[in-house]
A and B are shown apart, each in its own frame.
Chain A
Amino acid sequence: MTSFNPRRVRADVPLLGRVINDRPITYLDSASSTVPPRAVIEAMDRYYSLRHANVHRGVYQTANEATDVYEGTRADVARFIGAPGGADEIVFTKNTTESFNLIARSWGAANLRAGDVVLVTEMEHHANIVPWFQLRETTGIEVRFIPVGDDFRLDLSEIDRLLDGVRLLSLTLVSNVLGTRNPVAALAARAHERGALVAVDAAQGVAHDVTDVTQLGADFLCFSAHKMLGPTGLGVLWARRELLEAMPPFLGGGGMIADVRRDGFTPADGPAKFEAGTPPIAETAGLRAAIRYLESLGLSDVAAYEHGLTERALARLDGEFAGRVRVIGPATALDRGGVLSLDVAGVHPHDVAQVLDQFGVCVRPGHHCAKPLMRRFGLAATARASFGPYSIDEDVDVLIDALRHAVAMFS
């Protein structure tokens, strides 16, 4: 057993002290957004109280301090994901979705031609589907899907054929619906053999296990601060330095230029080229605190803990409801994250979530921005419960108790 203690994390997260409908909150929606510890909230508060100024502009002391916070976070992010090229490989965006749009509009538009293939998977979030469809409209690329099998894992039986003509393999590390952890490193190796690049959606991974871009074999990596105990409004795009250097700018405006003349402009060097306008600065202070907090927990220990929690939850859900509650995702915790998409026979996910709310249980009903995947399994929606490093077995107790009420109410 490890030294990791989820109860210490709970004590650090103010929101987990709330009472909802006369019940202590049972927060099971970390796949949507994690709830931040005090250290993150205080870091942003401290920033606004003491250091706030615009970045990269002033010469006065607080302006320098604000720039130090912003650029220092870039360095912390680089260390956190093992970026071989350091801070220059880290671009701050709004969220994972914007990171994918940046890849598509900048790298994609500059490098892909009609007939080139972008290979995604059937379990992608819309953030890793729609930008490619948009690019298809302007360039005529082909968007191809790796199917998902009945075991809720990628069906790789045709992978050689699917990789034919592929310029970019873009896939999720952990499915936000199924919890499936994909064999990204192995697939990246296959894609690289064909001369393709690899983009990875790590949004559901970064807070739950160690992430190392070299081990993953990634060329691009996207994630969001708010899914790793940090604030909303801030995302990250990591890309290998030579890729970033060759990519054209994304949005235009202040901050992303080296020079502007009446006849044109010269873009800035480095990540600034992709960061037009005043960026989220306080949020980087929050992200920095979140990274340090996660590092202090030890993400290998968090991964081992959540694995056990997920295994026990899967066994209990299977045992308690005699098949009435089906988990849409792998049946065991092997290569799987703590995302439990529930299909309750005869009860619509919206009604499940409504009854659960009455018990203070926060789950997310809906299609989870993965409609191709929902269609694959003939579902309009699921009620999704998902874990964070503060989740405990008692959360699962309350969930099961509330689910019993939902089942009883509608049968």
Chain B
Amino acid sequence: MSLGNLDELYREIVLDHYRTPRNRGELPVPPAVRVEGFNPLCGDEIALYVEVHDGVLTDIRLSGHGCSISQASSSLMSVAVKGRPLGEVRATIERFKAMMTVGETGADAAPSVADLRTMGELAALQGVAQFPVRIKCATLAWNTLTQALDEAAPSA
């Protein structure tokens, strides 16, 4: 039988980040900011720690539990944004969320091939958009990150 759809969802990079999540742990608060995110539908919970200095997201840690998609997404996110200027981080959040809205709003919103190239490993999560109920799993960490940035650097 065909498991083609599943292979789209569970790419090797995704499974790797699920099995071996990066940047797991906690940071002392302060100087870090701690924000929690919940997905009441499936019971996923994450706690996100971010540290911001001089407009740069200098460190990030994640704890909590959830499905492979939410865990892989938060791990991939942490790698993508760590050490980046906040403007770049916010732009990455926007690009990721645009990638996730394809399933909801149709192909018009799909990021171009050029966009996907700039997303690096994050593009591995592209297949999630074909599974509408799983989009919330993938975006949980990103929405939580937005909240954390708003707290850590309200004006940025």
Could you list which residues of chain A lie within 8 angstroms of chain B, going by C-beta atoms? 21-23, 347-351, 354-355, 358-359, 365-367, 374, 380-381, 405, 409-410
Contact = CB atoms under 8 A, between A and B. Distances in A.
A380 B10 CA distance: 22
Secondary structure of the B contact surface, majority rule: mixed
A22 B44 CA distance: 30
Contacts of B65: 380
A358 B43 contact: no
Nearest to A360: B1
Contacts of A355: 6
B26 to A, nearest CB: 19
Interface residues of B, number: 24
A398 to B, nearest CB: 11
A374 B65 CA distance: 14
A358 B1 CA distance: 9
B2 to A, nearest CB: 7
A366 B44 contact: no
Instruction: Kindly name the residue among B43, B68, B71 whose own CB sees the greatest number of chain A CB atoms within 10 A.
Output: B43
Given A350-B137, A351-B68, A381 B131 contact: no
B112 to A, nearest CB: 28
Given A355-B6, A381-B42, A23 B1 contact: yes
A350 B42 contact: yes
Interface in B110-143: 131, 134, 137
Nearest to B39: A350
B9 interface: yes
B103 interface: no
A381 B43 contact: yes
A350 B1 contact: no
A405 B44 CA distance: 23
Contact of B42 (A366, A405, A410): A366
Contacts of A23: 1
Contacts of B19: 410
A380 B9 contact: no
Nearest to A374: B43
